[in-house]
Structure 1
Amino acid sequence: MINSDAEPGNWAEPYRRELLAHCYRMLGSVADAEDLVQETLLRAWRSQDQFRGDASERTWLYRIATNVCLTALEHRSRRVLPSGLGGPGDDPRSVPAARPDLPWLEPIPDVLVNDPATIVAERDSLRLALITCLQQLPPRQRAAFLLREVLSWSAAEIGEALGLSTAAVKSLLQRARARLDQLRSAGEQPTGPVQPERRELLDHYIAAFENADVGALEAVLRRDVSIEMTPSTTWFAGFGTCLPFFAEQVLTKPGEYRMFASSANGQPAGVTYRRDADGRFQPFGVAVLTTTPTGISRIVAFCEARLVQRFVDVPPL
């Protein structure tokens, strides 16, 4: 039973992290997800007299959150990464094309959504590859898939949440799975290594970056590695373009970057600061790595300073 004497949202505090993860999976933005969690809790508080007790508080909150997200998505474009906009670049010496106006996908720090008891279960459902694919599904397909595959709801429960028949839900799920299978097969990522190999790869990546050591970086990259850098539409794939890009445009001198180990989307991440003209380090962005038993296969660098502040497990400079 809901405690009507509690402050708005306090009674639901145990669910905040998982609701944030759910809204993030739906929208691909931490800021948007945080806003919609607040909207969810406010709606729940205002409509608490409608809570009949025929489902758990958790299920009731997820129903509200899902519909809040669907309403928000009516007015938002899907979030993207550079690889979803076109093929890789072939000139690593060209200046990347900046498009800050596009709705870019954002990383989510693991510390915001996971606790030690759930981090393993949550990791796969938050991986960047899956979040990117989910953004290409129509919103109702996205919602149905998440409620079924992440929360293990029945088709009848999903139908009640979305206002659909069980048959309609099953149709949504069939189309969602078929589309995700297509997207995954087109850009499948190898299975990542277990700890401590993941952390070792991240540590080597950080050292190579801070020392501007392209040779050391090459040693931890797969030959088919790709690099994407929001808010640029330019991205590269393979040693032939990725290494020259790093050597000539990124790792030009030692000491230009400071990087701290963290994790985002259940993957290793480097939270990055860059030295400014006065010699002071300023927030620069977050690099999320896809790791495999044979090295790093993908780097998604979110080059937006505002994202750094969300990584509360990293000391500010």
Structure 2
Amino acid sequence: MSEVIGRLGRVSVLAEDVADPVRPVSKDDFLADAQRYRRELLAHCYRMTGSLHDAEDLVQETYLRAWKAYDNFEGKSSIRTWLYRIATNTSLTSLDGRKRRPLPAGLGAPASDPNGDITEHREITWLEPLPDAPHEDPSDPSVIAESRESVRLAFVAALQHLSPRQRAVLVLREVLQWKAAEVGTAIGASTAAVNSLLQRARAQLDAVQPSQDDTVDAPESPEAQELLAKYIDAFETYDMAKLVELFTADAVFEMPPFDGWYQGPENIVALSKKHCPAEGPGDMRFTPVIANGQPAAALYMLNRETGRHEEFQLHVLATRADGIAHVVAFHADGTLFEKFGLPRVAT
């Protein structure tokens, strides 16, 4: 995890607090102009909460609060910085008293037996995936790469182990590259308190140690695309022997809301054979997408009663030079595919 933090520390474009153009003359003009920050504010609130649904609500609340308070905005910072302050405090308020959003591997239990029963826990508020920004066209392509780095599942899952204030400090300092004094102003803490929170947050992340995902391929890289294509083909043709060959020796597979997690290629394939409702080639269809800045694929499973392939899971992959290192298969809940702009039934 320290390697991930180190790479985030190089996010110069995202951290740049560029002076805003001429201050809009009305609150409505301000609100229209401030929409250009919506996507990055969504990513910020998502890092804080681990929930796309919550992040969307928090961004809306951020804009509402900013609109109401705009007459008191003195222009001592950029509008972008001001919006981040509001978004951070709105997120902290929303997190008060809430439990963290884990992935199954973060619950603290050992790896599960793939031949055992699987247990569904809808009552747990699980970490949610984040769709890629549609049609994003920044002036510098590194903006996409670095923003994706900061919403990768391994990083966001690790953030869930921190207290909300530790989370806020680490994101503002390491992702946005704010100075300690600026962070203190944003969250109402002294510089010394900010430095202490950051130190404890770094130590906590190192203790979590999701090291296997520290170096992964970009989703559009030829390597990642090739592995994703082979992964899809192995499932669609129901070639389990081919699937074994795609995973790294330490690969992890998990599928919230089921609480188990599985390690090693043979165990992952054994899990698929025992618990996947597919019976053979043609039962599964996949649509490639990008989630959390990682290669992903939406799985449509054949419903034998209707004869249609219906929404089932969203598989988010972490790929490395030696293969697929991690898969989180999020079960469709009636809204998941819609959030990714996907139909509920394959055409």
Give the deviation of 1:54 after TM superposition.
0.3
In the alignment, the residues of structure 2 paired with residue 13 and residue 63 of structure 1 have an alpha-carbon distance, to the nearest angstrom, of 16
Q: Residues 247 and 316 from structure 1, CA distance in 2 versus in 1: closer, same or farther, beyond 3 angstroms?
A: closer
**Partner of residue 265, structure 1:** 292
Percent of residue pairs identical: 46
| Corresponding residue number in structure 1 for 2:197 | 172
Shift of 1:7: 6.6
1:242 and 2:271 matched: no
Amino acid across the alignment from 2:177: S
Task: Give runs of aligned pairs for residues 1-317 of structure 1, distance below 5 A.
Answer: 1-4=23-26, 6=28, 9-85=31-107, 86-90=109-113, 92-111=114-133, 115-116=137-138, 117=141, 118-184=143-209, 187-193=211-217, 195-250=221-276, 251-276=278-303, 277-305=305-333, 306-312=335-341, 317=346
State the SS of the aligned residue for 1:192. coil
Contact 2:309 2:345 in 1 (8 A): no
Measure how far apart 1:10 and its partner are: 2.3
> What is the rounded CA distance, in whole Å, between the counterparts of 2:90 and 2:75 in structure 1?
21
CA shift, 1:2, in A, is 3.5
Unaligned runs of 5+ in 1: none
SS in 2 for 1:109: coil
* Aligned residue in 1 for 2:7: none
CA distance in 2, matches of 1:209, 1:33: 33
Partner residue, 2:9: none
Structure 1 residues 163 and 313: alpha-carbon distance in aligned structure 2, compared to 1, 3 A threshold: same
Q: CA deviation at 1:315?
A: 9.4
Superposed CA RMSD in Å reads: 1.9
> Aligned pairs, how many?
315
Comparing 56-65 and 205-214, the one that deviates more: 205-214
Per the TM alignment, residue 165 of structure 1 is displaced from its structure 2 partner at its CA by 0.8
Alignment CA distance shift 1:114-1:107 (3 Å) = farther
After superposition, give the CA deviation of every residue in 1:170-197 in whole Å (9 maximum; x if it has no partner): 111111111111212x654252235110
Deviation at 1:221, TM superposition (A): 1.2
TM superposition score normalised by structure 1? 0.94
243-252 or 73-82: which moved more? 243-252
Shift of the alpha carbon at 1:115?
4.3
**Paired AA for residue 130 in structure 1:** F
Could you tell me whether the CA contact under 8 Å between 1:141 and 1:173 is conserved in 2?
yes
Paired residues of 1:260 and 1:271 also in contact (CA < 8 A): yes
The answer (yes or no) to whether the contact 1:272–1:308 under 8 Å persists in 2 is no
Give the CA deviation at 1:132: 0.5
Deviation at 1:81, TM superposition (A): 0.6
Return the letter of the residue paired with 1:283.
E
- TM-aligned CA deviation for residue 313 of structure 1: 7.0
What is the SS of the residue equivalent to 2:124? coil
Distance 1:248 1:266, change over 3 A: same
Alignment TM-score, normalising by the size of structure 2: 0.86
Render the CA deviation track for 1:121-156: whole Å, top value 9, x for unaligned: 112111111101101100001000000111110001
Q: Is the 8 A contact 1:262 1:313 kept in 2?
A: no
Report the residue type matching 1:196 in the other structure.
Answer: P
